[in-house]
């Protein structure tokens, strides 16, 4: 087999594997290097997919325990079989990662198993324990090596008592008390999983609000909702020490300003304080690839690094650490290499927090619009006035659409409610077409549906919502 390729991608996460498929579809001879035993990166193996499998299963468990009776379904003696729930998650991961293998074969993409490093322009070395070193010659190289969990200084993550998201997806028993450090997306999603399965969750967050970056009205609403769900959330607080004892962990906290010490006892502590780009072992220093102050690979608008023909995409470069953002960049790089004009619209990248209620956002928040001095109007509609939501015991939450006060052009959409992550896309599509609130308000929506609340919020931007 000749090791000469048009494109070699290092890392098979949603950035790398999607880039490989698109490039192959566009006629390139493509190689992909992956050091893990299965393809799909963080997203498929230890991120998006396993977390959503656990969120779904734990949600059904909670529904069965608390909501079935009010729907007239008698279900005595609902019990958790955690091993089976974990098996469900593992099967979902396997099916998805095998799906990537199939797609690589279908698109005639050659995979190399091992750690890739860049030896020089157009040369990638692959090192694995089982096979001898191989050199790949490639016209272009894309680095898609993703990110890893960040940690607190001096803390050892043993993935048993002090865990990252990876450990939190594989616990073999439900902890009685779980401390979550960080009220960001991982803390709230995985905190929700274990709360639903019976753990008492305490969350320590450095800032004075949860889910930084999210529209504040939603983040405040969700904070109240989480407290009702039984979460103990301590804002403006940081962890100063974690001591292991025979009876579990003793955690010392203090205020963000360093005052007022308190202790918390827990069986498990989940560290969810963000993720950092991963470039270890790539040999970037050797070839002089530049990083920014946060350790991310610097690229130009075409994703090219400071070295010609070497590109980077996904979590390892700037921008939100989201699977679909990585994939968008993968497609765009493949298209640029094929001589097409392509770009990612960073203003319209939806983000979803898969809790209950779910939270979904696209475009600008109110805080951003204020900061940018844009004159805007707000259209809102609560799910408590939506028939389908009431029928599904899902009346929590609301839709909020932000539009330019003069032109009516939609600038942002924010939904908190059951299934928000599905509903957000009609606002995203509208924004891609530079649509106005009136365009959405004039679009007939099937009844009864939760999406009618999206249209009602658009109507509220104009002459008024109908059902409130
Ligand atoms: P990654 O997916 O991190 O893939 C990088 C790959 O490169 C890995 O397979 C790694 O083994 C490989 N690699 C690294 N170095 C080398 C090397 N030198 N040689 C060979 N291979 C190498 N995002 C969402 O959009 N939605 C979600 O619901 C969501 N849920 C998440 C839940 C959790 C618990 C976590 C941790 C993350 C979640 N994310 C979610 C974020 C998402 O997983 C990442 O944004 C996404 O995976 C980034 O894709 P990537 O291709 O840049 O890198
Ligand atoms: P995050 O950035 O979302 O949240 C981290 C939280 O920890 C922040 O609220 C921050 O203020 C807090 N924090 C930081 N240092 C702290 C400290 N010392 N003490 C207390 N709190 C501290 O990061 P998270 O949740 O780890 O997720 C990482 C990334 O993974 C996210 O940025 C997101 O892009 C991605 N992700 C996306 C998901 C989705 O799209 N549904 C799901 C899970 C992860």
Do 415 and 449 lie in one domain? The reply is yes
Do 226 and 261 lie in one domain? The reply is yes
In whole angstroms, what separates CA 34 from the centre of its chain?
21
DSSP state of 315: G
CB 351 within 8 A of CB 415: no
Do 137 and 286 lie in one domain? The reply is yes
Do 335 and 280 lie in one domain? The reply is yes
CA atoms in the 13 A half-sphere facing the CB of 412: 22
Do 141 and 247 lie in one domain? The reply is no
Do 143 and 287 lie in one domain? The reply is yes
pLDDT above 60: residue 12:
yes
Taking CA 386 as the corner, what is the angle to CA 382 and CA 392, rounded to the nearest 5 degrees? 110
DSSP state of 296: P
With H, G, I as helix, E, B as strand and everything else as coil, classify residue 411: strand
Please indicate, yes or no, if residue 308 is contained in any of the structural domains.
yes
pLDDT of residue 130: 82
pLDDT digits (tens, 9 = 90+) for 56-102: 999 999 999 999 999 999 988 999 999 999 999 999 999 999 999 99
pLDDT of residue 411: 98
Mean pLDDT of the chain: 97
Do 84 and 117 lie in one domain? The reply is yes
Q: Domain with 229 in it: what CATH number?
A: 3.50.50.60
- With a 6 Å cutoff on the Cβ, whether 275 touches ligand 2 is yes
Q: How far apart are CA 124 and CA 31, in angstroms?
A: 10
Please indicate, yes or no, if residue 121 is contained in any of the structural domains.
yes
Angle between helix axes 82-106 and 14-25 (nearest 10 degrees) is 30
Atom of ligand 1 nearest to the CA of 16: 51
pLDDT of residue 131: 76
Atom of ligand 2 nearest to the CA of 150: 26
- With a 6 Å cutoff on the Cβ, whether 205 touches ligand 2 is yes
pLDDT digits (tens, 9 = 90+) for 134-175: 999 999 999 999 999 999 999 999 999 999 999 999 999 999
Q: Are strands 162-163 and 262-266 parallel, antiparallel or unpaired?
A: unpaired
pLDDT above 90: residue 132:
no
Please indicate, yes or no, if residue 313 is contained in any of the structural domains.
yes
Atom of ligand 1 nearest to the CA of 149: 36
CB 115 within 8 A of CB 35: yes
For residue 57, which of 206, 169, 165, 184 has the smallest C-alpha distance?
169
CB 19 within 8 A of CB 317: no
Do 136 and 182 lie in one domain? The reply is no
Nearest bound ligand to the CA of residue 51: 1
Task: Let me know how long the chain is.
Answer: 468
User: At 129, is the pLDDT very low, low, confident or very high (cuts 50, 70, 90)?
Assistant: confident
The domain total for the chain is 3
Domain boundary among 245, 273, 301: 273
Task: Tell me the percentage of the chain whose pLDDT exceeds 70.
Answer: 100
The reply to whether 425 belongs to the active site is no
pLDDT above 70: residue 1:
no
pLDDT digits (tens, 9 = 90+) for 328-373: 999 999 999 999 999 999 999 999 999 999 999 999 999 999 999 9
Do 287 and 257 lie in one domain? The reply is no
Please indicate, yes or no, if residue 465 is contained in any of the structural domains.
no
Q: Decide: residue 134, CB within 10 A, 0-12 exposed, 13-18 middle, 19+ buried.
A: middle
By alpha-carbon position, which residue is closest to atom 30 of ligand 1? 48
Do 51 and 138 lie in one domain? The reply is yes
What DSSP assignment string belongs to 49-79? HHHHHHHHHHHHHHHHHHTTGGGT---TT--
Q: Domain with 388 in it: what CATH number?
A: 3.30.390.30
Nearest bound ligand to the CA of residue 52: 1
pLDDT of residue 356: 97
With H, G, I as helix, E, B as strand and everything else as coil, classify residue 468: coil
Domain boundary among 344, 372, 396: 344
By alpha-carbon position, which residue is closest to atom 28 of ligand 1? 48
pLDDT of residue 346: 98
- With a 6 Å cutoff on the Cβ, whether 7 touches ligand 2 is no
Which residues are within 8 A (CB) of 143 and not within 5 positions of it... i.e. 6 or more apart?
10, 11, 118, 279, 282, 297, 305, 310, 311, 312, 313, 316
- Residues 241-254 have a mean pLDDT of 94
Q: How far apart are CA 180 and CA 189, in angstroms?
A: 11
Q: Which domain holds residue 8?
A: 4-148+276-344
- Residues 401-410 have a mean pLDDT of 98
Cα torsion at 421, 375, 218, 167 (round to 10°)?
60
pLDDT of residue 246: 83
Nearest bound ligand to the CA of residue 320: 2
- Residues 188-208 have a mean pLDDT of 98
- With a 6 Å cutoff on the Cβ, whether 424 touches ligand 2 is no
Do 134 and 246 lie in one domain? The reply is no
């Amino acid at each position: 087999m000749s090791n000469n390729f048009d494109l070699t991608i290092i890392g098979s996460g949603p950035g790398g594997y999607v880039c490989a498929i698109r490039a192959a579809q566009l006629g390139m001879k493509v190689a992909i290097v992956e050091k893990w035993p299965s393809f799909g990166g963080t997203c498929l193996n230890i991120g998006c997919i396993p977390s959503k499998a656990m969120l779904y299963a734990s949600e059904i468990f909670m529904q069965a325990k608390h909501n079935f009776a009010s729907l007239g379904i008698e279900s005595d003696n609902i019990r958790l079989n955690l091993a089976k729930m974990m098996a469900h998650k593992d099967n979902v991961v396997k099916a998805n990662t095998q799906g990537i293998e199939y797609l690589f074969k279908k698109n005639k993409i050659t995979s190399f198993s091992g750690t890739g490093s860049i030896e020089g322009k157009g040369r990638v070395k692959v090192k694995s324990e089982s096979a001898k070193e191989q050199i790949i010659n490639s016209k272009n190289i894309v680095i898609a090596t993703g990110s890893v969990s960040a940690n607190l200084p001096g803390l050892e993550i043993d993935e048993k008592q002090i865990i990252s998201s990876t450990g939190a997806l594989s616990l073999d028993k439900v902890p009685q008390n779980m401390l979550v450090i960080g009220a960001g997306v991982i803390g709230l999603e995985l905190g929700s999983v274990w709360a639903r399965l019976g753990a008492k969750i305490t969350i320590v967050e450095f800032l004075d609000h949860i889910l930084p970056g999210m529209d504040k009205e939603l983040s405040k609403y969700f904070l109240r909702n989480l407290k009702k769900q039984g979460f103990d959330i301590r804002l403006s607080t940081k962890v100063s020490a974690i001591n292991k004892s025979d009876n579990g962990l003793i955690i010392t906290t203090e205020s963000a300003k360093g005052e007022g010490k308190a202790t918390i006892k827990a069986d498990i502590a989940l560290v969810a304080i963000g993720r950092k780009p991963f470039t270890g072992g790539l040999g970037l220093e050797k070839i002089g690839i530049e990083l920014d102050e946060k350790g991310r690979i610097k690229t130009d608008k075409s994703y090219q690094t400071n070295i010609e023909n070497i590109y980077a995409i996904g979590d390892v470069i700037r921008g939100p650490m989201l699977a679909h953002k990585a994939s968008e960049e993968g497609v765009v790089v493949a298209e640029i290499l094929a001589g097409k004009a392509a770009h990612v619209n960073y203003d319209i990248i939806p983000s979803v927090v898969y809790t209950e209620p779910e939270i979904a956002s696209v475009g600008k928040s109110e805080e951003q619009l204020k900061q940018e001095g844009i004159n805007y109007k707000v259209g809102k509609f609560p799910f408590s006035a939506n028939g389908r939501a009431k029928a599904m015991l899902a009346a929590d939450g609301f839709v909020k659409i932000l539009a330019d006060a003069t032109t009516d052009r939609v600038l942002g959409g924010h939904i908190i409610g059951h299934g928000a992550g599905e509903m957000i896309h009609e606002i995203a599509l509208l924004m891609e077409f530079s649509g106005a609130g009136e365009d959405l308000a004039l679009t007939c929506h099937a009844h009864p549906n939760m999406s009618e609340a999206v249209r009602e919020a658009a109507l509220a931007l104009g002459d008024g919502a109908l059902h409130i």
